[in-house]
Structure 1
């Protein structure tokens, strides 16, 4: 089990699961969109987002605005909505976590202040940029303001504010936030302490609840990848790093009608119990999707190893069934679908789904299996891979890059500056193709960038996600909480910073249509990225004879 000490990750975490869909090769440059087209698109995006917000579908709204900002990164109205939606999403997710709500009611005001103070200290010491302390305080106020409108926050903290009191409290916290400039973390801590005590006196709201909203806001103010982490969220991250977790073995997408099952881990309780992709979980034990939020429903699936859970599912035809399953430890493979895809040309293939502690070992096993089956060229599929451990990405790249720089990290602190280099020993010289799409992120981009810059292989697909930063996971001393902080930027061997830019493929391929939820295309004839990669590998095999 991974100890709760600082680790470095390169991953793009999204609120909802994004699937793969059929693609087509780019054959001609598309005409540039007009300003009128862009404005119309943004207006439609805001209208759709507003509907999601009104229904408090925060996870979907978050993904909606994130996708919109990738298309229109300079639109301030999209950034504003994303900031507000993320505040609501964070509140709802934290209060759906029973470990967090328990902590709120058991820690003291002094302990809550210690958490906030330690968060500020970590930001001051490790964040990649110089902190803007007043912005950090403002975001705390935004988080608290959002919390006051969330029913789960109101219920958990036994609030009984009238509409007039609510409005006055909002005016008060805005006034307190803006009445003086905040120039360092000590001033921020002192003001938050004063705000919490005043809110307690005037409005009978727990100071612990107020302070922890400011702690969450302190991380959220930094960038989209930094965040405050509850006990359960810390466990989830370390489980991802280890490559195993206790649960049912399902990948879920939150929806108002329940939890959509988008993937099943082979051999897990869900797989053995008969749950299939496309099913919807509409009830867990005695709580239905009409009684609790999707995040709360997902939280109810968690439990100790060996414990029982009853789930009610509805399939695509609307037929409901009830299953009683036993939670157990599930191994999550990072390498899947290892096979020879062209026996004549000797083209090997595997899909790399994440970068975790076991990935380098899993890749070794896949390579030797394919070698024994006559592999003469190799296709590695990184589509949809959000990233993971920095070290795992370096270790995998080192298997193919002969020597030289794989990736360089640079931070505000010299402690974050490091050049990760490959070693000659143990390098595989098999002709190589890397498949990427716009969901290939961070650690995936490290591997693709190293292969491309060293001209070690051919990168095929779409331009990648564009996440060129490294996060550290820092456990906090009180209440088993933690913080994820961006500590450095990373650069490809050629010195390219890919944040917001992505890795451009050598052979461009573009997606063209979305699938029905839970029904991903598996037909090779419909998969132009796969087919283009296969043909490229065949050509490499012929050229290497």
Structure 2
């Protein structure tokens, strides 16, 4: 039996109302999505929220009641893999027992996600809801929670990003409004779908309301404002924006300019900070991949594309009071300093990792080429030690573990970790190295490959496909429409197997889809991710920010949409996971009882090959 609704303490009424107003704002955005009415779902979620008695959880669970948190030069062919927000359609339950089981699974997915939100684990909440929405693509409530978590994560990440904070301090309100106008112009010209300006404004309002309720934002930007002042301003903006008519992007600039002036007068909030919330909100909820890039994120993006960066040469993952080192690039500064996969960074330049956000600590590893950074390193089998390492430019290889996986059958193998500018040349070098060892057939491993540059994936496919279409892209802007066909002379004609899994996405799906549809090789493993959109990276002229913008969708040679569908393997083989271990390149990986690789070897070793 459901417990009665707990009384809301008087001092919490304003927070409850604040949350409900935010939900009203973001609910209006759903009107543009033309999704089904969710009144019954809203009641169910409200009942769930009423069960929660812990006062400290009111902040998060009030968001559940009702619905959703909304939701220059360019490189137009970048497609990096991230988990999509909505997955392929799944079969509906056919009987009462199946429907009951599905409802239980949905309820559990929601409960688990809310617990992550309650703990402030926004990144984990995003991962959880992305997985859940792939399992239940029509579940509106789970999708709402995903968008709420994104807004929360984004505001936390922005105010831990030192390059963002420096830009905020250096920019005038006028410059930030110019950035907003430039962002809107790019949306109008290049975005894959038609833009609804009223929705964009509501997105920005939701972002600002989220920021005004975020502890880090308030401490950083509003140290002298009282909660009552913030609440009064928030309510005024909420009601003013919700009643405002917006016909063009020029109307948006005028409205945001007025809001910035009001925030400055009533709260002492920097006009630039206000405008940047509307900038972020304008893009972050359009789709999973479109996002504003701070100066540091923009540099990182181009470093990923180029395949090199200035740093220590380590791959990191947040840990408990530390940064875990997953892999170390051979020959890089960290490698030469004796750092290995499995080590933990406990502090950087006398700042403890336990006292700061992991992103903040990771940002401390940045710096000019040649500069020194002090690290506190803990190893499994050694006492903690202090070392100083010089930052320098590091080339990141994308082709790994090149060898003959079967010396008798002369089956070559290499793993392709992502697609970057250097990928075609690295693949060519690996092919010739295997050829000199007598390679008679080849396995290319794309498992866990998140994607990368579209041209790189097309160019690699062109090395194996001698004729026919490789890829088609289609966008709202005709300039995004391309048909890529094989044209390279002297292709490699060895028998080929391509390994994929559920984490093979984007550019890796371009390659594996082309191999499959052209009957050039055998695809082995699991169905791929289903990330079938193209992002352009635009460097803004008004400020040192960037825009990662979805500009097109792509299709396999047969015309099949990759988005939400993925690439189906010829030979379906699920992986068997055993344990984490460092591989020969120092990368901490999950070891497989590699049935997928073994199946590919058996297939290529058959006499017909």
Same fold (TM over 0.5): yes
Gaps of at least 5 residues in structure 2 are 1-71, 85-93, 583-587
Q: What's the secondary structure of 2:574's corresponding residue?
A: strand
2:318 aligned residue: 254
Q: Which residue of 1 aligns with 2:144?
A: 80
Aligned residue in 1 for 2:602: 535
Residue range with higher mean Cα deviation, 3-12 or 443-452: 3-12
Contact 1:96 1:295 in 2 (8 A): yes
Does the 8 A contact of 1:379 with 1:435 survive in 2? yes
1:6 paired to 2:70: no
User: For 1:281, what is the secondary structure of its paired residue?
Assistant: strand
Segments ≥4 residues shifted beyond 6 Å: none
Instruction: For 1:295-444, list aligned pairs within 5 A.
Output: 295-316=359-380, 320-444=384-508
Aligned to 2:574: 510
Instruction: Tell me, in whole angstroms, the C-alpha distance in 1 between the residues paired with 2:580 and 2:132.
Output: 20
**Residues 382-430 of structure 1, C-alpha deviation per residue, up to 9 Å, x if partnerless?**
0011111111011000001111110000000111111011115121110
Matched, 1:520 2:573: no
Alpha-carbon shift at residue 14 of structure 1 (Å)? 6.3
Which residue in 2 is equivalent to 1:24? none
Q: Compared with structure 1, are the counterparts of its residues 43 and 529 closer, same or farther at alpha carbon in structure 2 (3 Å cutoff)?
A: same
1:340-367 alpha-carbon deviations (Å, 9 max, x no partner): 1111101000001111111100010011
The structure with higher relative contact order (CA 8 Å, sep 6+) is 1
Q: With structure 2 as the length reference, what TM-score do the two structures score?
A: 0.82
The aligned runs of 1:220-239 (5 Å cut-off) are: 220-239=284-303
Determine the C-alpha separation between the residues in 2 that align with 1:41 and 1:319: 45
How many residue pairs were aligned? 523
Shift of 1:452: 0.3
- Structure 1 position 242 matched with structure 2 position 309: no
Greater Cα offset, 177-186 or 76-85: 177-186
Name the TM-score, length of structure 1 as normaliser: 0.91
Match of 1:152 among 216, 225, 242: 216
Higher CA-based Rg: 2
Hey, what does 1:206 align to over in structure 2?
270
Counterpart among 462, 469, 489 of residue 533 in structure 2? 469
- Distance in structure 1 (CA, Å) of the matches to 2:381 and 2:130: 32
Most deviating of 165-174 and 376-385:
165-174
Q: Which moved more, 1:289-298 or 1:306-315?
A: 306-315
**Which stretch of structure 1 is more off in the superposition, 67-76 or 324-333?**
67-76
Displacement of 1:515? 4.3
Is the 1:262–1:517 contact (alpha carbons within 8 Å) kept by the matching residues of 2?
A: no
Q: 1-side partners of 2:472 and 2:510: how far apart? A: 10
Shift in Å, 1:171: 2.2
Taking a change above 3 Å as real, the CA distance of residues 465 and 316 of structure 1, as seen in their structure-2 partners, is farther
In 1, Cα distance between the equivalents of 2:173 and 2:276?
A: 10
Structure 1 unpaired stretches of 5+: 16-30
SS of the counterpart of 1:34? helix
